[in-house]
Structures are given as C-alpha cells and as structure tokens.
Amino acid sequence: MAESVTVLVDADPLVYRVGFACEHASYSLTWSDVDPAHRDDPDYDRVHTAFFDNAERCEEFQRLLALDPAEVLRERNITPEPLAYCLRTLRESIEAIQRFVTQYLAYHGQVPGEMKLFLTGGNQFRDKLATIKPYKGNRDRTKRPYWYKDIREYLVAVWQAEVCEIIEADDAVALYQWQTEDLGSSIICTLDKDLRMVPGHHYSYYKQKAEHIGFEAALHAFYTQLLLGDASDNIPGVYKVGPAAARELLPAPLPEQEMFDVVLRAYEDNMAKHPEKHAPHTDPLSSLIENGRLLWMLDQPDRLWTPPGMPEASLSEWLASLPPEDPDA
C-alpha cells in the first residue's frame, strides 16, 4: 500500500494571489489649468481628469505633461469580480495544487493524504523581535485584496484552515514537516522561497515545481539567507552581498559550525568596513542572531533559532520577558 503524505499549504500567498487576480485597478489624474487673467480666482480654473487602466500609463502621462505631483490628485479605483467568482477561482487553485501534488507523489510511490491549510493571524512574535529594522516595515499592510476578509473566512469554513497566532503560517507548515515521522511523509506547498530551509518534499504552486530537499541543502539555504537577508520582509543581510557573493562565500553545504563561522566573519568584516550601514546598537553576533531568528522557520514550537554551541532559547520565555505593551501606543 502506498504511503500517505500530509499536504501542508501555506495559504497566505493564495489569499493575495487569488484576491488581487480577481479585481481590476484603474487610475485617474485630476489637475487644473489656471486662467492667466484670473490667477487668484479658482472659479476660472479649467479642471481636467484623465483615466488609465494601469499605473504605468498613468505615471507616463504625468511625466509627459510635466505635471507637478503636489498639484495633481491621483486616485486608484478597484472594481472587484463577484465574490462567487473569486471563491471559485480560489477553489480551483487549491484543486490544482491537489492534482500536481498527486502526480509528484505518485512518482515517489506515495499518495496525498490529509490536506492542512494555514493562515497567519495576529500578535506576531517577529514584530516584537526586530530591532534593526521594523519587520515587514517596507510593506503597506493596509493594501489588501477587496475580498481579503471573505477569502480567509471561506478558507476557514470550507477548507478548515488554521489561523496561527504568534507564529506565521509558514512557521506552522515548517513545524509540521519537521515533526513528521520522516522527512518524506508530508509536503509543503507555498510560494515562499524561505521554506526551502526546511528539509522534505516541497511544491511551489507559483512555479508548479516540486522537489525533495535534503537536510544539508536545507541548512545551506538558511545560512545563505543569513548572508542575503530578505528584502521582502525588511530583514537586512550583509551589506552589498548579493546572490553571486553569497555563492562565493558558501558555495556548497558544510558542517553547520563552519557555515556559521563563515557568516559571522562576513558580518564582522562588513560592520568594520561599512559601520554607517549598520544599526549603532548592534554588534556582528547580535545582528546575526536577530536576523537568524527572524529568518528561521521554527523547527520546535517553543524554540527560537540559536547559533550552534549556544544554549537554546525559549520563545515563550522571551515573550514573557518583554515589557507590557502600551494599549494607547
């Protein structure tokens, strides 16, 4: 009998991907031409409004007419598809994941079992942990799909998605995969490249690509990420170290202590060479630890990432040690 594999879906990207795909944005520019004979009387101004079906055309028009941004009203208008259409698209996206995963697992002599979906809730620990830069501080967290709330409610009601507090959805799928009996009895389905630090089966429902990642390759991916940081989450890495430089520093997996030493030296050298690019309250080791804890997908429910050879750190104890939050802040 074929082995059953639990299908773990990081559903956060689905909410945004499907939600934004099921709405149409249009843009308008409104500006005025002042009547030279009546400069002090706005009643004589001639008001113009132009409409555009995408932001690029809107920006190009504004540039060509040399319109002063301070004197132009720019508006973004959203026209959503009907909710029923959006939820049908979401269902079809989940069913497509099921079909592809079924084909991939069949190649390994396995079959899909239970599907578990996870969504990120509130009170996230990384928001409190980040001191160098605000976690995801470069994102507009108010920019959400029109049907954001309805999509999440549908995923919970129909697909029994679990809403995660304190930890994120990608932590939840990582935790589950780490704690299965072996690293082939579950499969992570996501768009998030950060989850490649978790060994086992993976499926990217954006690239429609599945693979099995071994333990050494997963750990190498994490230490490479420590060099690069994660711009999408506003987590800094080593200044001026991009993918090519990271490959030179860590071209292949090594024992963990050796990879840690390489990364720590990179932080030390970089802080010495570019002190102005680093937060003044940090040092190389504390910066590395903070970035590591922000980047690391949890492998134990109550364990923060800690460098090799150092005492383990408890997530719950760290949270309990924080001063109470000001409700009026």
pLDDT in tens, 171-226: 999 999 999 867 789 999 999 888 999 999 999 998 899 999 999 999 999 999 99
Stretch 250-279: mean pLDDT:
96
Q: Model confidence over 277-287: pLDDT tens digits? A: 888 889 999 99
In this prediction, residue 329 carries a pLDDT of: 56
- What pTM, to 2 d.p., does this model score? 0.88
Residue 241 has pLDDT above 80, yes or no: yes
In this prediction, residue 142 carries a pLDDT of: 76
Q: What are the tokens at 275?
A: 């002190």
List b or e across 288-311, with b for residues whose CB sees 16 or more CB atoms inside 10 angstroms.
bbbbbbbbbbbbeeeebbeeeeee
| Range with the poorest average pLDDT among 41-45, 242-246, 290-294 | 41-45
In this prediction, residue 33 carries a pLDDT of: 86
In this prediction, residue 70 carries a pLDDT of: 86
| Range with the poorest average pLDDT among 45-54, 223-232, 310-319 | 45-54
Stretch 310-328: mean pLDDT:
89
Instruction: Answer for the pair 196, 202: CB distance below 8 angstroms, yes or no.
Output: yes
Residue 326 has pLDDT above 80, yes or no: no
In this prediction, residue 6 carries a pLDDT of: 96
In this prediction, residue 44 carries a pLDDT of: 76
In this prediction, residue 1 carries a pLDDT of: 47
In this prediction, residue 141 carries a pLDDT of: 74
Instruction: Answer for the pair 183, 215: CB distance below 8 angstroms, yes or no.
Output: yes
Q: Model confidence over 126-173: pLDDT tens digits? A: 999 999 999 998 888 778 999 999 999 999 999 999 999 999 999 999
What angle do helix axes 148-159 and 12-21 make, rounded to 10 degrees? Answer: 130
CA–CA dist 88, 83 (Å, integer): 9
Question: Nearest 5°: phi and psi at 77?
Answer: -115, 135
In this prediction, residue 325 carries a pLDDT of: 75
